[in-house]
Amino acid sequence: MKEGPDGGVVFYREGFDFTITPTERQLEKKLDGSIDYVTITYPVGFSPRQLEETKKAIRLAGFKEGTYTLIDESSASAIAYIAEEHQYDGTLVMFDIGGGTFDVTIVRVKDGHITILNHIGDESFGGLAIDKKIAEFVDGECFAIHGFHILDPKRANALRTYDRLLRKCEEAKRQLTVAPSADIDLEFPSSVCEAKNLEDPNFSLTLMQSRVRELIQKDIDSCVAMTEKAILECGLTKDDITAVVLIGGTCRLPYVKTTLEAFFQRNIVMENINPDTAVCIGACHYAKGWAQNKEKPFFTMDGRQLFIDPILKENIMMDLGGEALHVVIPRGVPMEKKCFHVCLDTPNTTVSTMKTVLYAGNTKKRDGCTRLREIRWSGFPAKRSYVVHFVLFITLVAERCISVRVEDRVNKTVYFPETEIQY
């Protein structure tokens, strides 16, 4: 919920109406006609509940079933990449620093399908978090020069002052994407000038790119670490990545690109795809295909038809009990993730056999569930001084039918071949 135009509290659905309705009216005026269909994008990390709330909000804004569609931001950006590069096979990293969150998504483009392989997000870091760090720095500089804080919570209109400062910091951040420095100009209220005996109410600070780099270095390094984790969890290495697509205006900061290039040790960070418009461009391509075929939407590029596999959330329960990993496949609810994977390690350097037990049931606890199968694998090096890393793949191949495979995370050796199990 948030504060509405009249100062009252506005909940998520109603707040969405404040966003989409004025936008719709502006577009109708510009196009000199009504809008028949609308495509809404959403963060790839949305839960099923958040997605359903989004749909309700769209209907609240006046769009009926059949007049709107949704696509996740990562798939939309992947479409923008395909449209720009005309590449139809590859594994992409979608590196998205949004306004309030960070999301990294691994996307596979293969055989006419765009598939989300993995997603990791951080709800505590985004463009706003950077603005706040800059604001704290400016506040500290003001105290060093004048002996008082701009952000004094006891001062009248403290929240309004903070909001103004954040906007100034955001403007400076945008300038720093194309310039080595940016000026932040503030004007102290008359009450502050009188209380502090200030003759000049103006305060100006030059913010350098290097300073912002220092402020966000740990955060960006953490984002890159999450990127590596997302790649490894897919059973891939960074050498398997074809391209990195940047999403969100904050990604224009030079330090973001240089840090990613240093990690991948290759020039695969896309520069010709606009981070600000990638999602919109991809959504437009998708919308055209959806309007033509709503049952199974696709988009056409260079005479090729490409389909987007649905975003499928994890319903599988895992429990590391005893010496085995116990996995419960749900019954009675859809398997909402087409391909599920988990990274496993040998518990020590002497173990020679690994074990996973598969169950099926209506509960996420294995007690009372039907035991499907126990899978074991061995054959990995017996004499070694390192831990072996595996990836367990569980894929929904048909209704109530999964396939299971285990392979080495590093060298891709298959220890348990693809095996179908009915449940």
pLDDT digit string (tens) for 104-144?
A: 999 888 888 888 888 888 888 999 999 999 999 999 998 89
With residue 34 as reference, give the H or E element that holds it.
none
pLDDT tens digits along 19-34: 666 676 777 777 777 7
Q: What is the pTM of this model?
A: 0.69
With residue 142 as reference, give the H or E element that holds it.
helix 127-146
Report helix, strand and coil shares of the chain as percent, to nearest 5.
Answer: 35, 30, 35
Q: Rounded to whole angstroms, how far apart are CA atoms 108 and 93? A: 9
Domain 127-214 has CATH 3.90.640.10: yes
* Residue 26 burial (10 A CB sphere; 0-12, 13-18, 19+): exposed
- Domain 317-422: give its CATH superfamily: Substrate Binding Domain Of DNAk; Chain A, domain 1 (2.60.34.10)
pLDDT at site 65: 83
Q: Rounded to whole angstroms, how far apart are CA atoms 414 and 337? A: 22
Helix extents (H) in 268-385: 278-292
Domain with CATH 2.60.34.10 in the chain: 317-422
The token pair that represents 244 in the structure block: 């990195």
- Nearest of 95, 98, 336 to residue 106 by alpha carbon: 95
| Mean pLDDT value across residues 261-265 | 96
Domain with CATH 3.90.640.10 in the chain: 127-214
Vertex 364: Cα angle to 362 and 369 (nearest 5): 55
Torsion of CA 191, 196, 198, 202, to 10 degrees: -60
pLDDT tens digits along 388-417: 678 788 887 777 788 899 988 767 789 999
